[in-house]
Each structure stands twice: as C-alpha cells, then as structure tokens.
Copies of this chain bind each other. A is one copy, B any other.
Amino acid sequence: MHYGYFNGTVAPTDQLAIGVTDLSLLRGYGLFDYFLTYNGRPFQWDWYWERFQNSASRMHLPLPLCKEETYAVVMNLIERNGGADVAVRFVMTGGYSADSISIEQPNLLILTEAIHPVPPVQYEQGIKVILDEYVREMAEVKSTDYKRVILMAEAIRAAGASDLLYQKGGEISELSRSNFFLVKGEKIVTPNRHILHGITRRTVIGIAQADFRVEERPVLLSELYDAEEAFTTSSTKKILPITQIGDLTIGDGKVGPKSKFLLERFDELIAGW
C-alpha cells in the first residue's frame, strides 16, 4: 500500500481525495514533478526541488512548504512504504476557487507510487516512436498539460510505436514525457529549447562529458538521417535506445554501443546513490 500527503494530512493514497472546485479539475491549472528513490534516497533531490520551485514560481503559486519540510514529508512517506524504492509525485494545483477562476490557496499533494520499469526487451531492441507536429505550451514548466499524448494513444498503438517525438517546423524538441538525444561519432546532441529540462537529461549530460563532446542546441529533423544512434532519457526510462522514428531506421536499426555505454555509466551512478 502506498501513502500520500495532502495539505498536511498523510493517508493511504486510495483514501485521499480532492474537492471538486479545485482549479486543476475545472481549469487545468496545476503543475507536478516526479522522481525515483534509489537505496531509499530521492535521486538528485536538489535538482528536482529547484525545478519544482521554478515551475511553481512560473505559475504564480506560492509553495506551502520549504525544501526541508518537503524533504521530511517525502522521507516519512518512503518509510511508511517499508523503505522499498518508490516513485514520488508532487502535484500542486491552483486550489479551491469560489468563482472557478481565481487562485486563493494552492493545494499540495505528495504521492508515493510503484515504479513502472521499462520492459527489458525495450533496452535490448530499442523502441519505435512516431513524429508529431506539436510543441508543448510553456514546455519548460512542468505543468500538468499532457493532453496530447493521451489524445494520440490510439495513433501510437496503431503504428506499433511506444511514444511521440515532437517536432515543429522541422525542429525536434522532445518526446511526450522524456528528452531526446542523438549520437554522431564523438558528439552527443540534444535539443535545448521548447523542452522540459529533464533531470535525467542533466545527469546524462554530466556523465557523457567525460567521453563525448555534448552539444545542447536546436536539432533539425534532417539530422536524423546521419545519426548513428538515438535515445531518450527520463527518470523511469533512464537511457532508452530509439531505433526507429516513423519510417526511418536509426543507424543500423540495432541498439548502439554508445547508448549501452552511457546506460552502464548511469546504472553505476544509481547503484552507488
């Protein structure tokens, strides 16, 4: 059983509920964040907190807890779950609103959840994604606006794909819930705008810099044609190879050695976390 925190109360998640005048329900006004624990400790906690704080500020929502108070809540929830590693989700909304539009007092929810690891076969064979002409509004803010990938679920399934790769006017930004990287020789290239700045992306850039030249810059669709490897990064996916993008096969269509090498470095980092 997983536990959650809601405005000062801790309870099993299935007993938590939010009133129906909340602005996330009525107006889609909410933000979130999501991270894993390794060896019982939140991974990259400082960076996640910094991003959550930044999203809240960009959405004009004052945080009801400071960093230390929030950390204490998170550790309390982890202990109640028996100490096994979990996913932690923060959700902050515009709160209950008497006139259905004005912010009064944000609601803060902190949930622990089961980790849903990627099936091993996807690491062995890589995944297929399909291109989608789309860019997230306020992409750099982790708002709860993830309608697009739910709307496109059937198109993804029909294509035998796992996810969307967003592009707009020929410029690639990100996948629906993860970042995008290309490998070209000793270069690792990743888009730097119209994206959510992933903490796993940041971690991978740090790891890669020891062995590669990392370029954070606009990436065009035309660059897919001579890419050797491609992969996506997120807290859950870690470093997941992409071997097909629509009808285009990346490199020789197999998981490449550089993606594997980076995943090994990443796994070493989390093993020692």
Contact = CB atoms under 8 A, between A and B. Distances in A.
A158 interface: no
A17 B177 CA distance: 28
Interface residues of A, number: 48
A20 B4 contact: yes
9 contacts: A14-B19, A17-B20, A18-B18, A18-B20, A26-B89, A26-B144, A27-B146, A99-B116, A103-B150
B26 A28 contact: no
A150 B4 contact: no
Give this chain's copy count: 2
Nearest to A137: B137
B20 A19 contact: no
Interface in A6-64: 6, 13-14, 16-30, 32, 59-60
A252 interface: no
A198 to B, nearest CB: 17
Interface in A155-193: 177
A2 to B, nearest CB: 10
Contacts of A138: 147
A154 interface: yes
Nearest to A109: B20
A138 B177 CA distance: 20
B28 A146 contact: yes
